[in-house]
Amino acid sequence: MTFVIEAKKLSKHYPSQRENYLALDSVDLEVAPGQLYGLVGPDGAGKTTLLRILSTVMEPTSGSAQLAGFDVMKQSEDVRALLGYMPQAFSLYPDLSVMENLKFFADINGVPAREQKKRIDELLAFARLTEFTTRRSENLSGGMRKKLALACALIHEPKILLLDEPTTGVDPVSRRELWHLLAKVIQQGVTVLVSTPYMDEAERCSTVSVINQGRMLITGAPIELEKQMPFQIVEVKARPRYTLRAVADQTDGVLSWRAVGDRLRLSVDNPNAVMPRIDDELKKAGAQISILREARILMEDVFIYLVEKQKEQA
């Protein structure tokens, strides 16, 4: 299979960084055509660096990358012609109106004049910004800015779309809206690579890579990743909470646990063996159990497990 985005051993060292510290540490990436590919990792993991290199904005220290077969360093102008890129920070002209921004990016990307009106109208409807065409972009809300930036990135009908944290700093409703928009973009056959610090968003992607401290930790479909984990999850809610915590700490077979809301999520090797033990211990300690059940592994569990493992190895 040929990949639309292909990176080999990409490394990036910033001059301001310590000698042996890398923002990206020989990262490999393969994105198949038509995928919605998620790049998940905490702040400072190297997501932005990777996306900037892929979008020809920045040069890697070593390694190579191709988009649709064009080299990001040697054939950057060819890459740019078929690329839509939305940086993490708001990067449209604040003093220009919604329409002027769209028109500018249409012109600069060489969208023929006779197609512009149709294309702009489509995108305005798509991003639900039709009523705001005369508003200066500095006066748009956070969610509207992101949608406008997405519309500008799509104006020349790119084959590949790179999005750097499109949902950061956006309210939950706008976040959902943005993901719906991305789903529509995918339907038109565009390959999308999106980065996000939110683990729950990763589940919406067809393939996910988890990145931390400049290294790719794991890659696969979210369901596959969840299956690969050497643990399962048990969810418990019981009172008093300190008793629950003490039991979680002491019970054999509990690998680790974390609090989520009013309950604990226990990583266990074998739920069928551990659950009766927990039940037993809690009752012995006089705690009131309201929930004790097996739960699905979430991307968040995967991520925490991988990061802990990386820490132990270091």
Residues in contact with other proteins by CB under 8 A are: 52, 55-59, 77, 80-81, 83-85, 87, 89-96, 100, 104-105, 107-110, 152
- The one-letter code for the residue type at 42 is P
Distance of CA 270 to the CA centre of its chain: 30
- The CA distance from 242 to 48, in Å, is 40
Six token digits for residue 291: 């929930």
Six token digits for residue 162: 């790179």
Query: Which residue's CB is nearer to other proteins, number 110 or number 172?
Result: 110
Cβ of residue 1: shortest distance to other proteins, in angstroms? 26
DSSP 217-232: EEEE-HHHHHHH-S-E
Question: 12 and 65 in contact (C-beta within 8 Å)?
Answer: no
Among 243, 218, 182, 242, CA closest to 297? 218
Cβ of residue 192: shortest distance to other proteins, in angstroms? 15
Cβ of residue 135: shortest distance to other proteins, in angstroms? 13
Query: Which residue's CB is nearer to other proteins, number 90 or number 279?
Result: 90
Cβ of residue 157: shortest distance to other proteins, in angstroms? 14
Query: Which residue's CB is nearer to other proteins, number 45 or number 148?
Result: 148
Query: Which residue's CB is nearer to other proteins, number 170 or number 302?
Result: 170
**CB atoms closer than 10 angstroms to residue 253:** 17
DSSP 261-283: TTEEEEEES-HHHHHHHHHHHHH
Cβ of residue 296: shortest distance to other proteins, in angstroms? 38
To which H or E segment does residue 246 belong? helix 241-250
Query: Which residue's CB is nearer to other proteins, number 78 or number 300?
Result: 78
Cβ of residue 10: shortest distance to other proteins, in angstroms? 16
Query: Which residue's CB is nearer to other proteins, number 105 or number 231?
Result: 105
- Strands (E) across the chain are located at 5-12, 24-31, 36-40, 62-67, 70-71, 83-86, 160-164, 191-196, 207-212, 215-220, 232-239, 254-260, 263-268, 288-295
- The CA distance from 286 to 165, in Å, is 46
Query: Which residue's CB is nearer to other proteins, number 47 or number 265?
Result: 47
Query: Which residue's CB is nearer to other proteins, number 50 or number 298?
Result: 50
Question: 41 and 218 in contact (C-beta within 8 Å)?
Answer: no
Cβ of residue 82: shortest distance to other proteins, in angstroms? 10
Cβ of residue 241: shortest distance to other proteins, in angstroms? 45
